[in-house]
Structure formats: structure tokens, C-alpha cells
Structure 1
Amino acid sequence: MAQKSKKTKKSTHSNRPYIIGFWTLFGIGILLAIFVFLLAGWGAFGKMPTFEELENPETNLATEIFSSDGKTLGKYYNENRTPVKYEDLPEHLVQALVATEDERFYKHAGIDARGTLRAAVFLGQRGGASTITQQLAKQLFTENVSDSFTERIFQKIKEWVIATRLERQYTKEEIITMYFNKYDFVYQAVGIRSAAKIYFGKEAKDLNIQESAVLVGMLKNAALYNPVRRPDLVEARRNQVLEQMNRNGYISENEMDSLQKLPMKIEFTPEGHDEGMATYFRAYLQGFMKDWIEKNPKPDGSHYSLYRDGLKIYTSIDSRMQGYAENAVKKHIAHLQEEFDRQNKNNPTAPFRDIDKSEEENIIQQAMRRSDRWYTMKAEGKSEKEILASFKKPREMRIFSWKGDIDTTMTPRDSILYYKSFLQAGLMSMEPQTGEVKAWVGGTNFKHFKYDHVKQGKRQVGSTFKPFVYATAIDQLKFSPCDTLPMSRFTIEAGKYGNMKDWSPQNAGNEGYEGMVTLKEGLAKSINTVTARLIDKTGPQPVIDLAQKLGVDVSNIPAVPAIALGVADISLFEMVSAFSTFANQGVYVKPVVVNRIEDKNGTVLYQHTPVTRDVLSKEAAYVTINLLEGVTEAGSGVRLRGTWGKDRIDYKRAVTGYPYDFKNPIAGKTGTTQNQSDGWFIGMVPDLATGVWVGGEDRSVHFPTITYGQGATMALPIWGMYMKDVYADDKLEVSKEEFEKPEDLSIEINCDNYGRKKTSQSSVPDELDF
């Protein structure tokens, strides 16, 4: 027995060194691991985030533009990221994320030991070990994955350390929110809100279960599992996510089966700077914001970033009215372009008219020198000869057409001629009482035609300038719409107004030179000799002074009588704001496009203050409105009433939207410039003024005759279609009422009561006659 006991004791003694060695090595391993983690925390393997950086992780937040009715018009960004709050994430989206990416997310503190061990044993073949928190750490604070195995190990250690710190710093809900806000879903969809808008055309909170599954499926690899590029692969991945949700008890097996059978539907809505709504307005607003940022630094003296600071810009634009305006412009110009191209088929100088070859070449040369190609090659040190030669070499390019972009091959020179052939348009709509701009369409396609015809472009305004002459006569001389003037030929002799020659304007169209007309008839029929007589009675300078008070830049308008017929170049922006003053009882309100600017935390940085000034008496403004109503009752604007008058043409080939059949009061004025280069219509109802311009990029691009080249055919149909849609939208509540009449109106506007039956002489006081 003793001998047996001795053997047992000897055996136990022989295992002890191994046991001690094992635990020693294990302890050293633990200490080494702790030491490695400490080294990582101290930054030995690369820079680690500070407490402040963990508290406020740096992100690029897009500046968001809001319409007055609360819709997102667009964004400015380096990364198209607009953050959402946890409460804006649908429950099934969070469940899909946890079920697919990190089943034990709510049970670990940043590192899933079980998942890590499984990944190590099976070499990642049964799933990875990165938790949601680790993935967030990688996105926020670590660099791209290295090709070196050793560096990848150190990077993974850094992720573990940062993940544990994030878990101490934030709640699980905050970590999920940051993860969704940070992930890049490609196609400029950074963050879940942008992804929901771009792939499904809706807010993140409105995603359904299968849409959430698609986006969560993209988290594995957004470029690979992308619904635009590989819909079949993405549908299979979506079904895997739904299976994971069933496995983790978030949805039943029946729900999973029914959801997996549904076809995958996306509504791809790109949010690039060239796409979306109000592109021309957003381009103008970008300049507005850069100017505001320059003048309004942060409290610490630094400047806000339009592309990274997540500003919120609340604009005056109404998304519904903007949509109606864009639709009206595109629909009519596409239709009008067909007629324009038809009339150009036999034009040897197409798309130009009334110019010779040398003038055509000059236009092309100027266009080449303004092109990006010219500037780029010049910066590369190319000679002018080399640059000019490059314009004659065929290249593959994608060009604009009204039926969609076309891939083709042509020389850059030919592409210049091609783009010159397109008609352009501008539309602006604003509330006269507030100055708020409700719609802004600067052209037909921002991607291909960047030039803004609302604010940037200035063109001859033609007869739309005449109301300024009439308003001056009413305000200064108390003329009545019922006063009469002769239509006969009229000459202002040289020298009367500075250094000028004799000026004898001619009447356009079918208007002759016989008889007398009232001022209302004179404006309605746009009779040039009547307008000439009026500016001779007021003088050119008072008309210019009035235009300036109405917000028009008059620096290049000479004080000569010829301005009465609209030879001045004025922007659509200026013309609409000027006309709005008549509808606002003579009070000019400076147009406003930005009501408020906030920082990412909602702090108000800017609040608009209206800028107003009294320009005309209520009486003079109302009488001018009364004159302008005559244009739509018996003049060139009568087409808005559902009739064409005596100059009826084949409207089916020329215009869209007819008949408009408006019954409510409308004050307006058409305008057509020399050679039909510009067509205008500015129309007003009591609470909305809208102006439209149509023409070619160059003045030599125009219709050959007045039949199609007049404002009533080129521009008025856009106004008609736009207003029909506006009135059809009851929520907009745009007025159909009469213009407000002053209580103390002393100027007679009812010509039946005026007692004038004169046919051979003017009713204007003799001492004012020329």
C-alpha cells in the first residue's frame, strides 16, 4: 500500500511544471494582449481619436435646401449626407441591421468575443467578427484597409479599442444612428436618408420592410449589391436579410415567405447638382450663400462651409408651383422647337438668320473661346492653333435632345452649332405682397445649358417696357385709361432730348395710323405711336426714374424716347419684380428667395427682413393695372380667354395647352423684339405675378415671321399652362378675385361714363400736346 501511494505522489509531482507553465504562458498572453491594447490606446499603432473627437466625430454634412412647403429641393455637399435621428429610423430597419450585421449587438460592449473566436477558428468562412460598433469605428476613425497582414492586425486592434470607447461614450441607439448616417450607399447617397431618397424617392421613416432589407443588404458591399446595377443579385441579398430577420424572431416565416415573393421595386432619383428640381435656382442660391458666408463668419472668426457644415436653407420656392412651372416650360418649348426646326429645314444659315458668314463665324469663335475645352487646353499650355484644331476633330459625346440624351460622334465645333439651334426659356413667379419668389426656371435643361435666363440673362424687353411709360403718365399727369390720342405718325425731332436724331416710330402688325384710340386700347394693341406721344409728354428721364424705383438696373438705359418701345436689356427677375409693384398698390417689395438659414443644430443664423418702398400712389398703380387688364380682354393676351382674335393661327402646331379659358381678372403684357428675337409675357393676378421669356441663345436665332415669333405665341402659352395647374391645385389658394380698388379713386376708368365721343382730336389737355 505504501509503495502504491508513493508512485501516485511521484506522478502528481511530475505534472506540476506543465500546469504552472500553462498558466504562466496564459497570464503572459493576457498581459501581452492588455499591453498591446494599451499601446493601441496610446497611439503606438497610429493616431487614435481624442475624447473630444469621440464626443463630436467629424463628418461632412450636406447643406439642405427646403421649399416653403417643407420639401427638400436639393443639397450642396462634398458628401451627400443629411443626418436623421433614431426616432426617424423605422423599427424594421434597425431590426434588419441587427439581424444581419450583429445578432448579439445588444449583448456585447463593442467586441463580440464569441464571433471573434468563431471567425478565428473557421478563418472567417462562417461569418466575420466585426460588430456594428467596430464597423462604425472603422468608418469614423481608421484609414483604408492595408494589404499588409501585420498592418491589418494592428488596424483591427485599433478598431477594437475605438469600439469599446464608443460603447462607453454612446448608447446603442446612438451607435446605430451614427452608423446609418455615415455609411456610403454610392451614387452620392451617403447616409440612410440620402439612400432612401435616391433609391426609393422617400424619407427613411417611410421605408417599408422590403425596402429596408434592400438597403441593409447593401451594407455588405454597396457597389456590388447595388439595385441600379445588379437588381437580381440585390433581390437575392434582400431575401437573405429577410431570412435573417425571421431567424432572429423579428418576422414570422409566413411574413418572410410573402415578402420574399414580392418583386424588388426602386425609384431611382439621383441627387446630383445637375439633377432634380429647381436646378437653376439652386445654382443662383449657391452664389447667394457664398456671399452670405463671406459676410457672416462664425463666432470664432472662421467661415461656414456650404458643403460640410450641414446648414439648413429655408427658401421661398413652393415645390408644387416649381413643378408646374418646370413642366410648362419643358412641354411648350419641346413643342415649339419642333416648329422652329421645321421652319429651319430650308434655311441655309441655320440655326441663324439675318447674318452673313463672317458674323456666323464670329459667333462660333466667341463660343469656342468661352468653352471649358478652350480654358482647359489654354491652362495646359496649348497654342491657339492647337486649340482651334481640336475643335475640328470628331469625338464621342453625349448630347441633349428633347427625346433624351443621345450618344454620338461629332466635332466640338459642330456641337456648338447644334446647341445654338435650341430655343431657351425663363420663368419667374412671385407674390407681390411679400416678394417671395415661388418658382424659378432659368432654362430648359441645366445639365446641358447652364446659363440662367431669370437673373443672369438680360434681353431686350420690347413692349413689356410700355407699362412703365403709361404708369409715369398716369402718376405725373393723371391721365385716364379713357383719354384718347391719335394713332397718326409721330416724330420727335433731333436735339430735343440730348444728342439724338429724328425719331419716327412705326406701328407694328395690322395697326394703321388712322383715327383715335383710348390709352387702354393703345396699350392693349401695343400701338407704338401712342406710346411715343406719351413719353414725349413725360420725358424719358421720369420714365427711367420710375423704372429704377421699381427695381430695374437703369445704368445702361439712355434718356432717349426710343426706350419707350423696349430697346433696353433687362432681366426677367427685374421685370417681374417691377410689374409686381402695380399689383401691390404701388409698393415695391424686393424679391426674396431665402427666408431663414439655420446651422445643423437648428440655431437661426439669418432671418429675412423685407425691403420695401413706396413708388406709386395706390391710384396710379390701380389705373395701370386697369390698363394691363385691357391686354387680356381685347389685346394680344386675349388668347388666355379662349379666343385668338383676328390673328388666329394653327395653334395646334404652334402652342400647347390651348384653350386656357380663364374667366378671372388678369393684368398682363406681351412683348416681341426686333426680328422676333425675344418673346415675353408678364401676367398678374392679385397675389401672383409671373413672367416668361423665350428666345434663342443668340439674337440671330429666331423665327422668320411674327406669326410664330411673337410673345403671344412663344411665351404666353407657358404662362397659361402654368396658371391652369396652379389654379387646379386648391391647396395653393391663388386668387381669382378682382384687383383691390382704392376707395378714393379719382381717375375715371369706366369709359362708358367718361363722356368721350371724340374721333378727330385728343382728349389730353392741349398744353401737353407736342
Structure 2
Amino acid sequence: MKKKTKAIFLITFLLIFALGTGAILGAITWIIQDTPDISGYKGSSEATLIYDSDGELLTKLFKENRVYVPLERIPEDLKNAIIAIEDTKFYVHHGIDFWGIGRAFINNIMKGDLRDQGASTITQQLARNSFLSLNKTYYRKIQEAYLAVQFERLYTKSEILEMYLNEIFLGHSAYGVETASLQYFGKSVENLDLAEAALIAGLPQSPNNYSPLRNPKLAIKRRNIVLDRMYELDYISQKERNKAKNAKLNLKTVKKEEKEKTAHYFALYVRDQLIDRFGAAMVYNGGLQVHTTLDSKMQKLAEKTVNEKIKSGFIPSFQSQQGKNMQPQVSLISLDVNNGAIRTMIGGRGTDQFNRAYQAVRQPGSAFKPMVYSAALIKGGYTTGSVINDLPMLASKSDKNDELSIWPRNYGDRYRGLINLNTALTNSVNIAAVKLIKDIGVENVVDFSQKLGISTLTKDDGLADHYSLALGGLNRGVTPIEMASAYSAFANKGIYTEPHAITKVYDKHDKLIYEAKPKSKMVMSEADSYLITSMLKSVVNNGTGHRTQIKNRDVAGKTGTTNDYTDAWFVGYTSQIATSVWIGEDTRRSMEYDVKTVSSGEAAQIWGDYMRAAVKDMPIINFQMPENVIEVDVDPYTGLLSNQYSPRIDVLPYKKGTEPTKKESLHGPVETVKVDKVSGMLATENCPAEQVEERYYIKDSGIRIGPTQKWFKESNPNKEYSELTKGTYTVNTGEPVQEIDREYGIPKTKRNGNPRYETKTNRICNLHPAAEPLTENQDTENKSDSDSNSNQSNSRIRNLFDIFGNN
């Protein structure tokens, strides 16, 4: 009976043991099957490094901030320190230290926590950090042990140590010893001394607690423990240990916040370009080395300029009701005109993710006019001296008088009469731009703009009657980067080059995987590019862009302000750099604030202040006139060669063969006549002095010439005063005075379409009759004042004769 009982007990025990063992083995097998495969492991993710044009690190893109370094670049002191404090039997075990596990297990029992100490080897830590979670469970420990064995089977000890030293987290955002070395000491890992190596080696156990940035005393204490352990294992001598233990921390950290603020939007732009080409996984994990076009010196100057304008209140600051960003926003971008390289980029006044330099599509206003003028030079047969009549055009006709209107209107409702293309662009005349596009066709302007890289034009922008395109009235708008790129073609002798930010990209093995080859194409002749540049230079020297002048250096550019002041621009260039400045609110709200109205003047001032500093040390290279371009003295009112009586001479460039060859015959000797302003007839001695004015006429033709001003105003009782059509026609000295409609300012024309000029009357004033009209030496003042007044009158007349060459 006893033998039978013993047999049953033994069988039961064996069954239970077999079942338990099977269950354990099954569980372990299941856990192992659930463990990641490491056969294709090639190391953890690495940060992508972005450098400026001088090779200085600009920023990093990473999932984990890691810069991989080979084992031969890691100093022996650091390798020994890690082994001494983390795994003294590293070169002996096969991934698992069983004695260490036993020791840790006993310690855990004594502490009452079976999961407290893990006794993980370097190989196990690598397995855990690379593939597993940090949860302290036996499930994870089994996986960790299995993976450690696999690592030891597949890799050498040197490969494991190299992977470990590049994998471990060492506090803050640093992964791997190279990143930690740069983060804490501002130097590469191969330059670490013994004390610094020991400090980094002490971090893996508790990176945040032992961080020298957070707890310097604890960091030193931990460092000294490492040094003691190294001494115990004969890695260092007593003298070396004592010297290292007495060393100060000597931290040299990089101010991360300051670096991240510099070129923030440029970094976003580069990131987007990289993701489009290589994908997000490669960009954030692949350890790419990206060399860019950014000029950090110019970038800092641009940011300084914009920040100072904001701080001083030159650019107002208002909190947006629809977002956290301050308004109005500012964008600035500079390109190298010769190769399209982006040298500076500001995409806003903050660090948000919306990069206005290339993502904001905004109305360009008059900054779009150079595209119209260029198309006129190329396709329309126009020259810089072609004459356009700057007087109002009727926008609509109707039987009802109150529906008549004029379009477009010039800024300030000021009109100049006969002007050439150079004057028109210099003063940003709306009438001239619309007349040009009407003549040459919208299609030609759209086609040329697209050749300049403007990609935001829509099908409706090309409609035949879309004349507002000439004034920057696009259905969508343009981006600052494309405006800068378009103007670059004017500066680069008619050659358009795609803007680019990346020059070269290397993979983590230093293999070149991308090199920029920006596309270039001739979009206009060198001569035409010089002509438009000459006119845009006049904008800066004599017109709306005067705030952008740079001493002793040629500058060309154009202002632009949209209706209701929603967008303000200045786009301009020197022979080396093209820069676009835009100001506007994200919500397209008007910038007519109580404190000030922001317009193109503010954009031009930012452009000028920045560019004067940016090009200061660049060689002075002014715009070079091509051999097939000549300069000619022309009369601005006829577009012909000037004669001895021409009141003003414009020296303008022409392509050879397009210059005028005939002398103008409009101007000749001038006579001064006194006219009664009320009757419009020759004044008599009876006309009141306040009604008498001197008018100037060309003797031979009798055509009246300026200077004078004429006003027109609509007469319509059904409209409010503010709605009435009105304006001023300013006639410059020597310009023929045109007859205009008194209500709408529209010029009266002859049957052949030419303007009708005012001419000298021979009729004597019938409101104040007298025997003879006043002569040049007569006046209506009292006898006692007649001599002095006559002398003054003669003096004025002589001055006019001198101007017009009447001797």
C-alpha cells in the first residue's frame, strides 16, 4: 500500500512538473515568438542635420536627437567608463550576465520588490532601448534576454558597443554620446577629456537626475563614482582619477531657444522640400546631412531689421481675434539673382507653421506692373520713350448720366497727360498700365508672367477683358518667393532660375544622394531686361521707391499697395541680390489703423534698411548696359528726338534700331499772354487783377503749354459728394494742354484720335471790354505799382524764354 501511494505521488509530481515545465516553455516560446526580429537591424534613427551656406549647423530634424559616430571616433576613456559602470563583464558574457541576475534577484527579495533591479548587460540595454518598452515586467525581461543573445550571435562586441553608445538616452533631448557631448560640452565626442567622459558615462542609469544642467552636484557625485570604478578596474591611474575628480564641469551649452528662432521659416521650407523628395521617415530618422543656401549673416540682418521695426512701432502690433499670431504679418525673402539661391527667408513674425514667404498667396498691387511693361517691350513694340495719354477713360456708357464712370483711377485722382513709359512706371500710373494691357493683350502678360515663374495665375486671369491684371488684380494672387524670383530675371540679364534652398544632401554614410541643379531659361533678351531695369531704377531714384536708395549702388524695384491697404509690397534688386518684402494681415483685413496706415512705404523702408546692411560688404557692381542698347535725348511729350526748344529732355535707353530718328516739331518759341480766367479770352486793362493769369503758347502753332492745372468734377445730384467722379489734371512745363471733359476729365480728340489741344484765342474779353488786350508789359495794378510789377512780369517771361530757348 505504501509503495502504491509513493508511486501515485511520484507520478503526480512528474505530471505536475511536466505540465509546469511545458507551460513555462510554452509561455517562453510564445513570448519569444512575439519578440521583434533583429536580423535587419541597422541602428536606431538619426537626426538630420541642416547646415547653412558656410557649413555651420543651422538646425536638426529628428524623432530622436541623435548623431551617429563610429566607434573609432569615441575615446577609449568613454568606452572604458561605460563598461566599468554599466557592464564590467561585457567582453566575457554572451549577452546575459547570470551571476549579475542572481545577485540582483537576491537583492530584490531582500527589498521586497522582485522587479527593482534588473542587472541588464550593455547588450540587454541595447535590445531594450532599440526594440522594447521600458516597462519592468518579466515578460519584457524574457524578451530582453532573448534579444541580447541574438545580438551577440549576429554582431561583434565592437559593433554592439558602437550601437549602444549611439543609442542610449543621455538626458534632455540627447540620444547617443555625440549629441550628449555637443549638448553638455559644446564639443564633438572625440575631444572629451577623462572627466567629461566619466560624466557622460554616469548618465544612462538616470539621465534626468544626473544631468549637469539640472543637478550639477549629483552629476559630479555620479561622475566620481564612475572614476572610482575605472580606477578599481585599472582603466586609469590614481593620479588620473584624482585629477579628473577635481575637474570643474566647464559646461558649454548651446542656447537652443536662440538657435531655433534663427531662420525658423527657412528650416520649415527646407524640411518640406526634403519630405517631398525623401519622405518623412528618412528626414526624421535617416541622419541626412543637408547643405543649404542660407547666408546666416544676411538672415540675422533681416531678422534684426524686421524685429526693430516691430519693436519701435513702425510696424504696428495687434492681436488677431481669430488666432494667436500678432498682426500685421511680415515676410522677407532674398535670392541670389545669378543662381536662384535663397539667402534669407522670413515667413512671419513668430514661429508658427505657416510660412508666408512661399505659402501666402496675396494680391501684388502695382508690384505686378513690371510684368505688363516687360510684355509691352517684348511683344508690343513699345520703347521706354513711347508716349501714353494719362487722362481718364470712360468705364461704361448708358443713357442714364448717373451710371457713367471712369476706370481705372490714378492714386490721389491725379492725372499727368502726355507721359512716356519711363515716367509712367516711375510714378506707378494706373491709366498707363491698363492702356498697355489693352493694347498688347492680357494673354501676352499672362504668358510672360508664367515664364517668370508665377505659378498662381488662374484660367480666369487670362480672360481677354481682365484688364485689372495690369494693376495686380489677380484672382488668387502671388507669393513673395515667386515675386522675388521673377524680379531676379530682370537683374540676371533676362535669365530666370528656379529658386532653391538645398545645394547637397548626403546620407548617414556620407554618400551624396542629391545635388541641386536648378533649371534656368532665357525669358527675355538682355536688352529688354536692361530696359525694364532702367525704368525700375527710375522708380527708386525719382519715384515711389525712393526709400530704398543705396549710396553709390544701383537699385531697381517697385512698390505695391492694394485697395483698402490689405497688402503692401516692395520688390527690388541690386545686381547681386533680389529681395521681396510683403506686409499684410493673415485675414486680409485693412491695415488702416488708428495709429497709422501701413502701405508700400513701410515695405520699402524695411527693404532699404535691410539691403543697405546686407550688401554693405559686397563689391559694387552696377547695372551694365548691353552693347545693343544706346541712350538717346528725347522729348518726353512726343517721344521724338529733342530740339532746341524742347522744355525737358529725358535721356532714355533704347534697343538699337528702335530709337527715334526724327526731331520733334511740336515745340518752338514761346509767347506769354494774359487771359481772363472767367471768359477765357484775352484780358484787358479792365479785367479784375484776380481774374487775370499768364498763359504760355507756342508761337507758330498757338498751342497752349504748361505749367497749369485743370480740375474736373462730375455734376450729378443723385450721388453723394464722395461718390462723384473728380480729379486733377496737372500739366507740366512745356507740355501741351489738352481739352478735357469738365465732369469726367476724358480728353477730347480729333477725328483721327489725336488729342485736341487748347490754342491761343484772338478774341478780347467781352466781360470787361477795352480797346486793346493787355500786352506783356501791361498790368492792372495801380499806377504807383506798375513799374515794379512790370519788372517782375518781365523776369518771369525771360525765365520761360530761357527754358524754351526763345532768344
Q: TM-score, normalised by structure 1?
A: 0.67
- Where relative contact order (Cα < 8 A, 6+ residues apart) is larger, the structure is 1
**Alignment correspondent of 1:636:** 544
Is residue 374 of structure 2 the alignment partner of residue 463 of structure 1? no
**Residue deviations 1:394-439, cap 9 Å, x none?**
xxxxxxx9xxxxxxxxxxxxx8456365221112222222222233
Instruction: Please name the residue that 1:618 is paired with.
Output: 526
Q: Deviations over 1:42-101 (max 9, x none)?
A: 967624989x93563453344444444334444444333342223443555445434543
2:340 touches 2:497 (CA, 8 Å); kept in 1?
A: yes
Picking from 333, 339, 342, the partner of 1:437 is: 342
1:473 Cα deviation (Å)? 2.6
Tell me, yes or no, if the aligned pair for 1:311 and 1:600 is still in contact at 8 Å: yes
Q: AA paired with 2:443?
A: Q
* 1:508 to 1:433, Cα distance in 2 relative to 1, 3 A: same
Residue 428 of structure 1 pairs with residue 336 of structure 2: no
Distance 1:701 1:232 in 2: 57
Aligned to 1:549: 451
5 Å-filtered alignment, 1:253-264, equals 255-260=243-248, 262=249, 264=251
Look up the equivalent residue of 1:696 and give its one-letter code.
E
Find the counterpart in structure 2 of residue 718 from structure 1: 606
Secondary structure at the residue paired with 2:554?
coil
Given that residues 480 and 748 in structure 1 are in contact (C-alpha distance below 8 angstroms), is that contact kept between their aligned partners in structure 2?
A: no
Tell me how far 1:461 sits from its aligned partner: 0.8
Label 1:45 to 1:468 Cα distance change in 2 as closer, same or farther (>3 A).
closer
Find the counterpart in structure 2 of residue 691 from structure 1: 580
Are 2:576 and 1:591 aligned? no
Greater mean deviation of Cα atoms: 476-485 or 580-589: 476-485
- 1:518: Cα distance to partner? 5.0
Q: 1:573 maps to which residue?
A: 481
- Distance change >3 Å, CA 746–CA 161, structure 1 → 2: same
- Give per-residue Cα distances to partners, 1:554-599, cap 9 Å, x unaligned: 2142543322222222111221111111111112222233444554
Take 1:332 and 1:561, find their aligned partners in 2: how far apart are those partners?
36
Query: Quick check: 1:139 aligned with 2:129?
Result: yes
Of 559, 563, 567, 2:469 maps to: 563
- The 1-side partners of 2:450 and 2:479 are apart by 13
Whether contact under 8 Å (2:182, 2:253) holds in the other structure is: no
Q: Distance in 2 between matches of 1:575 and 1:216?
A: 53
Cα-to-partner distance string for 1:259-280 (whole Å, 9 max, x where unaligned)? 23x46453352699xx454443
TM-fit CA distance, 1:618: 0.6
* Residue 491 of structure 1, CA deviation: 1.3
1:340 aligns with 2:243: no
The secondary structure found in structure 1 opposite 2:309 is helix
CA positional deviation for 1:444: 1.7
Q: Point out where structure 1 has 5 or more consecutive residues left out of the alignment.
A: 1-34, 295-302, 342-350, 352-400, 402-414, 642-660
Deviation at 1:114, TM superposition (A): 7.9
Change (3 A) 1:287 1:494: farther
Distance 1:216 1:253, change over 3 A: closer
Deviates more, 1:242-251 or 1:544-553: 242-251
- Please tell me whether residue 709 in structure 1 is matched to residue 611 in structure 2: no
Equivalent residues of 2:547, 2:608 under 8 A apart: no
SS at match of 1:459: coil
CA–CA distance in 1 between the matches of 2:503 and 2:385? 42
- 8 Å contact from structure 1 (residues 460, 567) kept in 2: yes
- 1:286: Cα distance to partner? 4.5
Query: Which residue of 76, 81, 89 corresponds with 2:66?
Result: 81
Measure the CA separation in 2 of the matches of 1:761 and 1:200.
77
Name the CA distance, whole Å, in 2 between partners of 1:722 and 1:321.
Answer: 9
What's 2:628 paired with? 744
Could you tell me which residue of structure 2 aligns to residue 665 of structure 1?
Answer: 554
- 1:348: which partner in 2? none
| Matched residue SS, 2:570 | strand
Q: Which residues of structure 2 form unaligned runs of 5+?
A: 1-20, 112-116, 398-402, 649-733, 738-749, 756-807
Structure 1 equivalent of residue 771 of structure 2: none
Alignment check: 8 A CA contact 2:184 2:252 kept: no
Give the aligned partner of residue 453 of structure 1.
356
Distance 2:324 2:147 in 1: 54
Corresponding residue number in structure 1 for 2:253: 266
Residue 476 of structure 1 corresponds to: 379
Distance 1:176-1:501 versus aligned 2 partners, 3 A rule: farther
- Structure 1 residues 422 and 209, CA, compared in 2 at 3 Å: closer, same or farther? farther
CA distance in 1, matches of 2:57, 2:487: 30
Task: Report if the CA contact (8 A) 2:151-2:160 is conserved.
Answer: no
Matching residue within 561, 564, 567 for 1:678: 567
Q: Secondary structure at the match of 2:735?
A: coil
Alpha-carbon distance change, 680 to 440 in structure 1, aligned in 2, over 3 angstroms:
same
Matched, 1:523 2:425: yes
Aligned residue among 442, 448, 454 for 1:540: 442
| Structure 2: distance between partners of 1:104 and 1:665 | 72
> Residue deviations 1:202-259, cap 9 Å, x none?
6545666665554333212123333554455335434544565666427725632552
- Whichever structure has more strand as a proportion of its residues is 2
Seen in structure 2, the aligned counterparts of structure 1 residues 769 and 143 have a Cα distance that, compared at 3 Å, is farther
Structure 2 distance, partners of 1:697, 1:534, is 32
Distance 2:632 2:575 in 1: 21
Once residues 569 and 274 of structure 2 are traced to their aligned partners in structure 1, the CA distance between those partners, rounded to angstroms, is 30
- Counterpart of 1:53? 38
Say whether the 8 Å CA contact 2:35–2:143 is kept in structure 1. no
Greater C-alpha radius of gyration: 2
Structure 1 letter corresponding to 2:247: L
Task: Report how far residue 468 of structure 1 moved.
Answer: 1.4
Could you tell me how far apart the structure 1 residues matched to 2:141 and 2:404 are?
A: 88
Q: Is 1:252 matched with 2:240?
A: yes
Partner residue in 2 for 1:176: 161
Q: d(CA) in 2 for partners of 1:621 and 1:690? A: 17
Seen in structure 2, the aligned counterparts of structure 1 residues 162 and 280 have a Cα distance that, compared at 3 Å, is same
Q: Which residue of 2 aligns with 1:70?
A: 55
Q: Which residue type is aligned with residue 581 of structure 2?
A: V
| 1:629 Cα offset (Å) | 1.8
Q: Contact 1:420/1:696 (CA < 8 Å) preserved in 2?
A: no
The percentage of counterpart residues that share the same residue type is 30
**Are the structure 2 counterparts of residues 289 and 227 from structure 1 closer, same or farther at C-alpha, using a change threshold of 3 Å?**
same
> Scaled by the length of structure 2, what TM-score is found?
0.64
Say whether the 8 Å CA contact 1:73–1:276 is kept in structure 2. Answer: no
Task: Find the counterpart in structure 2 of residue 18 from structure 1.
Answer: none
Residue in structure 2 matched with residue 508 of structure 1 by the alignment: 411
Matched AA of 1:269: K
Q: RMSD over aligned Cα, in angstroms?
A: 4.5
Which is further off, 179-188 or 415-424?
415-424
Paired residue secondary structure (1:580): helix
What amino acid is the match of 2:735? S
Distance 1:581 1:160, change over 3 A: closer
Instruction: Tell whether the 8 Å contact from 1:520 to 1:630 is kept in structure 2 after alignment.
Output: yes
**How far is 1:725 from its partner?**
4.8
Aligned-partner Cα distance in 2 for 1:606–1:74: 19
User: Which of 147, 153, 156 is the matching residue for 1:165?
Assistant: 153
- Paired residue total: 611
Counterpart-to-counterpart distance in 2, 1:769 and 1:241? 97
